[in-house]
Amino acid sequence: MGMANPISLPLYEKIQRKNTLQRVFDSLIFLLLLSLLIYRLLFLNNHGLTWLLAFLCESWFTFIWVLIISSKWNPVENKTYPDRLLQRVPELPSVDMFVTTADPMLEPPIITVNTVLSLLAIDYPSHKLACYVSDDGCSPITYYSLVEASKFAKLWVPFCKKNNIHVRAPFRYFSTNPQTLGGSSSDFQQEWKRMKDEYERLSCKIEDAVHKSVPCDLSGDFAEFSNVERKNHPAIIKVIWENRTGLLDGLPHLIYISREKQPNHPHHYKAGAMNVLARVSGLMTNAPYMLNVDCDMFVNNPKAALHAMCLLLSPNSEKEIAYAQFPQVFYGGLKDDPYANQLVVLYEVGWRYGSTAEDIHTGLMIHKRGWRSIFCTPDPPAFLGCAPSGGPAAATQMKRWTTGLLEILFSKSFPLFATLFGKLQFRQCLVYLWILTWGMRPVFELCYAALPAYCIITNSHFLPKVQEPTLYILVAIFVIYNISTLSEYLRAGESIQAWWNNQRMSRINTVNAWLFGFLNIILKLLGISETVFEVTQKDQSNDDANDVEAGRFTFDGSPIFLPGTTILLVHLTALVVTLLKWQPPPRDGHGSGLGEVFCSVYLVICFWPFLKGLVGKGRHGIPLSTIWKSAALALFFVHLCRRTTMD
């Protein structure tokens, strides 16, 4: 039997993933939620405010569940064949690669340098590549680091391609022993040692420059950085390296850009930086394709660009597909994902203004015009980034995401408008609604979290009694939902502890970081304040991954931890009230029961890191100022509950 002609073979295949069990779980939960809502409606007139609030919250949860079912109903995987691409396409198109950084203190230059070095060394014709680095901090340190990195790149790029190195970010590559990398020959080990010494010299130079705050005398090539203010300076564009001879195996172009900024002129954060990169690259290299990464997202798969081209250069792709997207995957993550920010189970695209989530905003506008996007999931992952490794940094990231999502939700870019008046498909609309409504969760979850404590303190109820058959509906929802989500994590290769950490952090993030993101939008809509893009602290070191203290929750004096501490104190108070039988007599003979107590205990367990933080020390303890404020708010809540009972 003859072999298939490679010209006739597809560049990628769409593989439907089996999802029968998950569909059964999701459908059961939906039917149970509907049954619960019907039960609430039938007896709504026989109960008071707590019943109505529970009905409203559960209606929201049901609506969100419909959106979740729609987004997960038909999972597909795109399998790409880069080897066929090289046989089919006589000349690959050019690619302009964009890297953005904003603050050399929060985003250390050595991180940006490693990302740039990994991009310069990808498996793609060098004369077809150009790397543009946007520095919104206008830092001479960042520019100096890139200049020094370009010198090292002349050694690093040939070394990677000659030895077919897989991981091409030096800091990550040199953290592994050369024997484990398949290089057993003495020549390779000597070359490896020499390359490592060169990288360590580069790291020392950059570290010394950071400590000095000014890397050198601001003259000559650095003259443009003298007497500049970070938020008030002219545009600075510098060609650090130019592949003038157009060598196939040379070094790609490397260009530094710090866009012009004026104090009274809005610069639109990262979206503005990306648009400047697009305009400058359009004048300099004008590649038909762009690759966009954050400064901490280094290339983990050297064939990443080839995988993307398999999707973009397939027949009809250029007429239908606007962009290919890689999932966000992280390296050196803490064991069992204690902050639930590694996005293992949940994978979120352009640069539209008006939102700090410029990627989703621009993706929505592209889809509105009828274009498609496609998900690229090569093995190993194409890019790896660093996830925040502390409570404050993780909360800041979550708050920024929530703020950006709600900015889109409450704008003329509302997905339903894009479906009614544009070309956004209905199922796409549902997916966007699911993502954008994350920021609305604090309103309903905070209310639902307060109901058990309120009912215990006032000796009322919002859940069926133990002897009522309807209680089995709630028990079934709780059990099936947890089994369903646990199975998802186990199928993704995660541990039970990682699953629990994500369940717990979902409650914590909702009433803390997401709540503050929601409040930010309310203030913006009222015209009281504008949203601010907060850069997340980046940390290249992954030593914490093996630190026994690394998984412990950390706090600071930020008010972002105030709501969670208050919720914990309220429920601890409620449990004390029920244990000591300080409840008033029930009005209708039906006081709080086992259901309310179980919910209260469950929330205390979810907020266990906060409970430990009440007695913790240093960064593992909640500051006294936060505890006192939370205690005052908790007492005020109890007072309102008592006042309601008296009235």
Residue 111's region, left for phi above 0, alpha for psi from -120 to 50, else beta, is: alpha
Query: Which is nearest to 599 in space by CA: 506, 493, 462, 412?
Result: 462
For residue 202, how many C-alpha atoms fall within 13 Å in the half-sphere facing its CB? 27
Is 547 annotated as a binding-site member? no
Query: Can you say how many angstroms the Cα of residue 212 is from the centroid of all Cα atoms in its chain?
Result: 33
Q: Nearest CA to 571 among 537, 602, 613, 540?
A: 602
C-alpha distance from residue 254 to each of 127, 151, 304, 350, 504 (Å): 12, 11, 19, 22, 44
83 assigned ligand-binding residue: no
Greatest pairwise CA separation for the chain in angstroms: 89
The answer to whether 294 is annotated as binding is: yes
Residue 518: name the closest of 440, 437, 412 by CA: 440
Cis status of the peptide bond prior to 380, with omega within 30 of 0: yes
Q: Of 398, 629, 348, give the one whose Cα is nearest residue 508.
A: 398
CB crowding 380-401: b at 16 or more within 10 Å, else e = ebbbbbbbbbbbbbbbbbbbbb
Q: DSSP for 84-107, please give it.
A: HHHHH-SSPPPEEEEEEE--TTTS
Q: Rounded CA gap, 351 and 210, in Å?
A: 30
Query: Which residues lie below 8 Å from residue 583, measured CB to CB, with a gap of 6+?
Result: 456, 457, 458, 459, 577, 591, 592
User: What is the chain's alpha carbon radius of gyration, rounded to the nearest angstrom?
Assistant: 27
Hunting for tokens 């006739």 — which residue is that? 8
Cα distance between residue 621 and residue 128, in whole Å: 52
Is 136 an active-site residue?
A: yes
Give me the catalytic one of 136, 296, 337, 539.
136
- What are the Cα distances from residue 291, in Å, to 1, 331, 349, 586, 614? 41, 20, 12, 64, 46
Q: Which position among 26, 337, 359, 539 bears the catalytic label?
A: 359
Q: Please indicate whether residue 26 is annotated as part of the active site.
A: no
How would you write 506-544 as a 3-class SS string?
HHHHHHCHHHHHHHHHHHHHCCCCCCCCCCCCCCCCCHH
Q: How far apart are CA 156 and CA 537, in angstroms?
A: 28
Tell me the pairing of strands 253-258 and 129-135: parallel
Residue 423, marked binder? no
Which tokens go with 519?
């409040």
In what helix (H) or strand (E) does residue 62 lie, and over which residues does it extend?
helix 49-72
Active-site residues: which are they? 136, 359
Annotated binding site for Mn(2+), which residues?
270, 294
Annotated binding site for UDP-alpha-D-glucose, which residues?
107, 136
